[in-house]
Amino acid sequence: MARHDSVDQFRSGLLLALGSAIAFGSSGPFAKALMTAGWSPTAAVLARLAGGALVMAVFATLVRPTWIRDALRHTPTVLAYGVIPIAGAQLCYYNAVAHLSVGVALLLEYTAPILVVGWVWATTRRRPNAMTLAGVALAIGGMTLVLDVFTGARINLIGVGWGLTAALCAACYFLLSARANGGGTDDAGVDPVTLSAAGLVCGAVAVALLGAVGVMPLTFTANDTVIAGMTTSWLVPVAALGVLATAIAYTLGIMGIARLRPRFASLVGLSEVLFAVLAAWLLVGEAVSATQAVGGLIVLAGLALARLGDRSEAVAQAAWPDGPHPDEPHRRSAPAEAVR
């Protein structure tokens, strides 16, 4: 009976994690539709984070009424997560999407584990094992195909720069997660629902401030958008970003990671790239070449190999920055039960 329950938990966790990846993967295409209609990347990010923060705040209030007090007790952690991985990564990713296809932009962001491997190697003087190095080499080789380096295609350096900066923000998430898991007085014990809701609030405020002071252009329009070949109101992609690509995605992620091991959950998260490419094709008509498709699969295989080979907490125990903190559902059963 215990084995049967374990199998059922794994299956439900896998389905929830895949559902979360599908929901997160829709973010880029819906944002692209808004930007095509005249929205600035900063405005698209703000729409997503503000809508997601509102929904998650309501959800957190229902399942964890003390979330605001908990967030205030862990202010440094919440601020760091909200400003760097949530606001920073999304702002850079959306600016990359403005210059590149959704799939290429997301793949660039997903090179974050490679940066973490290099950082850990440089700071600890511990050489990664052969599997990790092989995965990194494979991912770098695949990226040259994704960027069409060998076909003479013109590379948009601005978009690549934004994408790599998004990867840097994501890498900071992994390192922040490792530090939080280390049990510091402030960083220990932040509930995942609290972290998601409060982090989104902080991220939305940070992006709004950047736009208000003119650091990043903040342009909204009421122009119609085109989704899946159909003209629709701008409210449709805005609602989809806030509800589907943020609130639902985070909630499914919390539930899925609570049933899966963090390492396996992070590998399942790689499927977000594939779902994002499919969503971009269906929703905004973006297609990838055969060379880019092969390169993308090689990159994902390399990242999976690197994660399986790496034993550092910075990579192995962190989920993707777009999702909830992975370790908390295992340490605390109350929020996971409330979500269920």
Residue type, 315: V
Q: Any idea which residue has 């929703």 for tokens?
A: 283
**Residue 148 counted as domain residue:** no
* Residue 2 lies inside a defined structural domain of this protein: no
Judged against a pLDDT cut of 80, whether residue 209 lies above it is answered with: yes
The pTM assigned to this predicted structure is 0.81
Tell me whether residue 238 is in a domain.
yes
Domain tally, the chain:
1
- Would residue 222 count as lying in a domain? yes
Instruction: Give the pLDDT mean for 275-291.
Output: 86
The least confident of 19-33, 95-109, 181-195, 314-328 is 314-328
Give a yes or no: residue 8 inside a domain.
no
Interacting residues of 209 by C-beta distance below 8 A, sequence separation 6+: none
pLDDT at 185: 43
Q: Give the pLDDT score at 176.
A: 67
Binned at pLDDT 50, 70 and 90, residue 184 comes out as: very low
Is the pLDDT reported for residue 338 higher than 80? no
User: Among residues of the chain, what percentage have pLDDT more than 90?
Assistant: 34
Residue 174 lies in a domain: yes
Nearest in space to 329 (alpha carbons), one of 340, 313, 316, 315: 340
Question: If you average pLDDT over residues 34-57, what whole number do you get?
Answer: 93
In a domain, 262, yes or no: yes
What are the backbone dihedrals phi and psi of residue 227, each rounded to the nearest 5 degrees, phi first? -120, 125
Query: Does 37 score more than 60 pLDDT?
Result: yes
Question: What is the chain's mean pLDDT, rounded?
Answer: 81
Q: Does 147 have pLDDT greater than 70?
A: yes
- The answer for residues whose C-beta is within 8 angstroms of residue 252's C-beta and 6 or more apart is 16, 17, 19, 20, 23
Averaged pLDDT for residues 128-143: 83
Q: Given this model, what pLDDT does residue 268 score? A: 75
Q: Is 49 part of any domain?
A: yes
What is the rounded CA–CA span in Å between residue 336 and residue 259?
Answer: 9
324 is in which domain, residue-wise?
A: 16-101+163-284+312-339
**In 148-268, where do the E strands start and end?**
225-227, 230-232
Split at pLDDT 50, 70, 90, the class of 23 is very high
